[in-house]
Amino acid sequence: MQVTTKIDKNELLILSPASLPSLQLKKDTAEKSGQNPFVDFDDVDMLNWYIHERRHTNEANERSERTKQEYRNELQQFVKQLMTHAPEIGLDIEEVKDRSLFKSLEPRHLRRWQEWLITESPYVQKRGSYSQTTITRKTTIIRSFFQYLHRVGYIMVETHNGLRKATVRKDDRPNRDLGPKDVVEMLRGFKAIEHPVMFGIILTLTATGLRNEEFCRLDVRDVQRDRIRGGYFLSVVGKGNKRRQIPLKPRVMAAIEEYRKARGLPSLSAAAPDSPLFTTGRGTRFSPSYLIQYMTKEMDKIQERVNGLDVTITPHVFRHAFAITSHLNKVDIYDIMRSLGHEKLDTTQIYLEKIFAKERHAVNQWTDDTLKEFL
């Protein structure tokens, strides 16, 4: 059936914090008159409010822009899928309530959407199954949104109960483990073919543990002199707008300068402070998605040198390499956690779980004289 709501496909593209003041006024007016604060909101208003609402007095505790973008993308895609593929999904809505798609949905519709997404969606038909990690992310965001709609009284039905649980088992997680020997092979490979750009990217990511988006956001001014210990450090704003200072080894600094020289950029001392630290071949700032594409393409140039590597090379795997290399150097796990900007130790342990399992395997705890004649 054709679903007619106040949501327009073009309107969906305009989800912006600029609308918050007018939404706040609308909410306050309804509250003052004794009505539900969201009585005058429509679906687009609720999407905007959910994504951009200020929840904390301290802005540093708000969702990061990356998280907001992720929620915006997933929710927009969800709505467009319902509107475009209603018959295939089985959107048997008898009555559209208040011209609202969200108010008209019932638990079975979210269950059917989830089943369609996993088995019949255009992505699956064209490219194969989603990873379990992706399914979990999509399900978590949609469930959270509908829980919120019910909690604030915008919808009366617990629609989110239609979604089946989606969790990532250890075996479902992609292999992102890179050890120092793997990194050394790559660095040697790019050095051998005189590729200072990839050499600089890999060395910087490995020696700092930066997130992809943190790397892409770096400006020249983020490289600062350490006036107490000497040398330099990166001043980085990470998730939750939390700032951390990351020491830069002298050879990493040299690699950054060589990178900039290869790109035709001025040295750090002569560059504009607000200019990107790392740029594309066109002189523009990397986006996280383009950095992944670029690294994937350039890795082909040293493929013969890294045969047998069963890890898909993305910026994130070098964050794992940082954690693994730190652990092998007997760095305390809490120091690794803080250096990576993790809030929970559990996250850091996920990075190290495979190496922990190997180290704690019984055979690696045998004494030296066990079967010494043959082992």
pLDDT in tens, 336-347: 999 999 988 988
Residue 182, pLDDT score: 92
With the C-alpha atoms ordered 287, 289, 293, 296, is the resulting torsion angle positive or negative?
positive
Q: If 0-12 CB within 10 Å is exposed, 13-18 middle and 19+ buried, where does residue 149 land?
A: buried
- Six-digit token string for 349: 């342990």
Which residues in the chain show pLDDT less than 70? 1-16, 18, 58-61, 167-176, 370
- The answer to whether the pTM exceeds 0.75 is no
All structural domains of the chain with their residue ranges:
9-172, 180-359
What residues have CB less than 8 Å from 184, skipping those under 6 apart?
none
Residue 160, pLDDT score: 95
Task: Produce one character per residue of 269-295: b if its CB has 16 or more CB atoms within 10 Å, e if not.
Answer: eebeeeebbbbeeeeebbebeebbebb
Residue 358, pLDDT score: 82
Residue 10, pLDDT score: 46
Question: What CATH number belongs to 180-359?
Answer: 1.10.443.10
Coil/strand/helix, residue 252: helix
Single-letter code of the amino acid located at 152: V
Residue 167, pLDDT score: 67
What residues have CB less than 8 Å from 312, skipping those under 6 apart?
174, 296
Residue 175, pLDDT score: 56
Residue 81: closest CA among 104, 45, 107, 110: 110
Residue 18, pLDDT score: 67
Residue 69: closest CA among 289, 351, 234: 289
